[in-house]
Every structure is written in C-alpha cells, then in structure tokens.
Amino acid sequence: MNKNELIRALANKLNITLKSAAAALDGTIDVITDALNAGEKVQISGFGTFEIKSKSAREGVNPKTGEKIKISASKIPAFKFGKAYKDSFNK
C-alpha cells in the first residue's frame, strides 16, 4: 500500500473526503516528526512507539573498493511495535 492508497482507505474508513484524509495523514506525520526533532518519544497506545536512536561511529568497508572507511555517529528514527499490536497477528 502506498501513500495514495492509504489516503483512499482512510477516507473510506472515516467517510471523509480525500482532501481531508490527506490533510489528516500529512498532519499526523508532521506532528510525529516535530516531536522526534524535539527529542520526544511518540507513544501510541496499542500500536507502538516512535523514537530517535543514536548510532555510534564505526568502521565500515566500501563495497566497490574494499577500502575501510569511517562512518560517523548519527541519529535515526525508529519504530517499535507494541506487544498488543504484534499479538493481534498471532491469534
């Protein structure tokens, strides 16, 4: 399912216009992004948690040349599904 299909499904599920569904989805993504940029976790009960994780600096290998390279530390967004949500697939 791509973004347009998700918007269409959301509009059908909530009986709203495609424009409203797109605005709701885009707004949700923006709010989550803003919270993560502010260093906050976003927990959605029964679904999961969005958070920023830190990756430490490490050494890697350039696959083309085999040369060792230094990969600097970085922060990445991560999502962890909640137990109740994962359990819903194993009934």
pTM: 0.79
Helix (H/G/I), strand (E/B), else coil: 42: strand
pLDDT digits (tens, 9 = 90+) for 13-60: 999 999 999 999 999 999 999 999 999 999 999 999 999 999 999 999
Q: For the chain, what is the domain count? A: 2
Q: What is the CATH number of the domain that holds 89?
A: 4.10.520.10
The residue range of the domain holding 50 is 43-91
pLDDT digits (tens, 9 = 90+) for 52-78: 999 999 999 999 999 999 999 999 999
The sign one gets for the Cα dihedral 23, 25, 26, 27 is positive
Place of tokens 């390279």: 69
User: Are both 25 and 59 inside the same structural domain?
Assistant: no
User: Are both 36 and 49 inside the same structural domain?
Assistant: no
